[in-house]
């Protein structure tokens, strides 16, 4: 009878361990899926920018330095390989896009151009999708990292060589306080 109880306990512990391991796998796959969604949105974003730059070129011929900076930032962002590198490059790229949109304030004809407005609207939708994809990724990573650090799942994480995944952070500019003046 004691042997049966011991075997039952061992089987339950093994089943529990398998369940935890499967949850780790599910969360890891979800993090990879959400990273792929981020990649897809970044690609859409980078594909849209040459059209945006060409539209601006027609109106802002004297602003070649800004336009060149945007294209260079796009090209370096497309070369990034790891998720962290892609996130850092995307943050740098966002800063150059802000300067591009600041140009539209200097050129009223550009600001009123339907093609420019359409491209700007598409880019805003992509930015929103990208924000949601990043939030989802960070939520999945939060669950995964909690399991890696919590007992008893940390025991399974150690045996299976699972370690914490990195969060995606926003650029420093976005962290600063925005002053609103009337």
Give the pLDDT confidence of 97-142 residue by residue, as tens digits: 888 777 777 777 776 677 778 888 888 899 899 999 999 999 999 9
Which of 57-61, 157-161, 178-182 shows the highest mean pLDDT?
157-161
Residue-range domains of the chain with CATH: 33-166 (1.20.1440.20)
pTM of the model: 0.75
So what's the pLDDT on residue 171?
61
Contact, 55 vs 113, CB < 8 A?
yes
In the 8-state DSSP scheme, what is residue 163?
A: -
Give 110 or 33, the one with higher predicted confidence.
33
Distances 55 to 58, 71, 99, 131 between C-alpha atoms, Å: 6, 13, 15, 25
* 163 half-sphere exposure, CB direction, 13 A CA radius: 2
């Amino acid at each position: 009878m004691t042997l049966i109880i011991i075997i039952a306990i061992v089987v339950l512990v093994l089943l529990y361990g398998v369940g935890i391991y499967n949850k780790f796998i599910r969360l890891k796959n979800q993090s990879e899926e959400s990273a792929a969604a981020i990649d897809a949105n970044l690609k859409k974003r980078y594909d849209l920018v040459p059209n945006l730059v060409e539209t601006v070129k027609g109106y802002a011929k004297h602003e070649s330095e800004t336009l060149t900076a945007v294209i260079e930032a796009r090209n370096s962002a497309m070369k990034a390989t790891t998720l962290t590198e892609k996130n850092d490059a995307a943050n740098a790229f966002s800063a150059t896009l802000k300067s591009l949109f600041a140009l539209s304030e200097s050129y009223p004809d550009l600001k009123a151009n339907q093609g420019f407005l359409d491209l700007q609207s598409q880019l805003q939708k992509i930015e929103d999708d990208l924000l949601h994809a990043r939030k989802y990724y960070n939520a999945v990573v939060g669950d995964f990292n909690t399991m890696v650090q919590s007992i008893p799942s940390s025991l399974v994480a150690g045996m299976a060589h699972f370690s914490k995944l990195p969060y995606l952070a926003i650029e420093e500019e976005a962290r600063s306080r925005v002053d609103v003046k009337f």
